[in-house]
Amino acid sequence: MGIKGMKYEEFGDNESLELLRKSGSNVILTTIDDVINWGRKNSLWPLTFATSCCGIEMMQTGAPKHDFARFGMEVYRASPRQADVIVVAGTIVKKMAPVLKRLYDEMSEPKYVVAMGACTITGGPFCEYSYTVVNGVDKIIPVDVFIPGCPPRPQALLYGMLQLQRFIETETADSKKKRSASHSYK
């Protein structure tokens, strides 16, 4: 693994990147986008937000052994106004949902969401017959990357964050419009 991001050859899943690149864009804008996206993807600041055990794995990912900081995600921000990405780590219950929505709304653009763990993807072990748990955080806020696991290992979170970086790398004005239009959340 390189110190600053992964090289194209070293990444296991390049098909998704090629697929994203195919979306098509203007030649002049592409050059500017490339520079902006390069800056954005290498300084992804996550929000300090964790509701349960996935948060412990997220802390471990930030700790020296796995070291998030190699990829430019070193600074956890305590304020949503300074954060770029919110890692939803843990079960979201219906009483917590308005708070999460508000945190997301307070983040400044561009903002990304990573749904970490089974609870945030579908409700996980609380999915059935639960009157309190939100069955999938994508019902409240738009999600860019889903990381399965219960909880996902730090390697899985790192992989997910790298996928997010690749997603940001290929973003264009068009794809941003499409992305915001495709979200059906209320």
Task: Using CB under 8 A, list all residues that contact other proteins.
Answer: 95, 123, 127-132, 135
- Pick between residue 130 and residue 175 the one whose CB is nearest to other proteins: 130
Closest separation in Å from C-beta 123 to other proteins? 7
- Hey, what long-range contacts does 12-15 have (CB within 8 A, 24 or more apart)? 13/163
Residue identified by tokens 């296991």 is 12
Closest separation in Å from C-beta 97 to other proteins? 11
User: What CA–CA distance (Å, rounded) separates 156 from 145?
Assistant: 12
Closest separation in Å from C-beta 152 to other proteins? 22
- Pick between residue 21 and residue 102 the one whose CB is nearest to other proteins: 102
User: What CA–CA distance (Å, rounded) separates 185 from 140?
Assistant: 6
Closest separation in Å from C-beta 37 to other proteins? 37
- Pick between residue 83 and residue 92 the one whose CB is nearest to other proteins: 92
DSSP reduced 3-state for 182 = helix
User: What CA–CA distance (Å, rounded) separates 114 from 112?
Assistant: 7
Q: Phi, psi at residue 105, to the nearest 5°?
A: -65, -30
- Pick between residue 48 and residue 130 the one whose CB is nearest to other proteins: 130
Closest separation in Å from C-beta 127 to other proteins? 6
Q: Which residues pair with 146 in a beta bridge?
A: 115
Closest separation in Å from C-beta 183 to other proteins? 19
> What is the Rg, in whole angstroms, of the alpha carbon atoms belonging to the chain?
16
Omega cis (within 30) before 110: yes
- Pick between residue 122 and residue 163 the one whose CB is nearest to other proteins: 122
Residues in the chain: 186
- Pick between residue 98 and residue 110 the one whose CB is nearest to other proteins: 98
